[in-house]
Amino acid sequence: MSDHCPGSKVVVISVADTLVYWCPSCGSILDNNGDHGADAGTWRAPTSLMLPSWTCTECKAFNGSAKELLIECRCCGAPRRKS
């Protein structure tokens, strides 16, 4: 894995034998086996629009905030945690 994330906080997603590191600040991803369009262990910038948002710490739902910043999760009602 590279020395550091391009943003301040990284979300780690584990699926089968793949670990994906996602930076919610800029949308970049890094994985451990090169399945996401970049060499394993290198960051790949997003190739499309990155919406302002936050991810619920309880149910992991995406809560877009382009229209307004939600103070609770739209799926489970858990309060938004400060980063």
- Summarize pLDDT for 15-31 with one digit per residue, the tens: 788 888 888 777 788 88
Question: pTM of the entire structure?
Answer: 0.50
Q: Which residues of the chain have a pLDDT value below 70? A: 1-8, 50, 83
63 contacts: CB under 8 Å, gap ≥ 6: 53, 54, 55, 56, 70, 73, 74, 80
pLDDT of residue 72: 94
Strand segments, DSSP code E, in 1-83 are 11-15, 18-22, 29-31, 53-55, 62-64
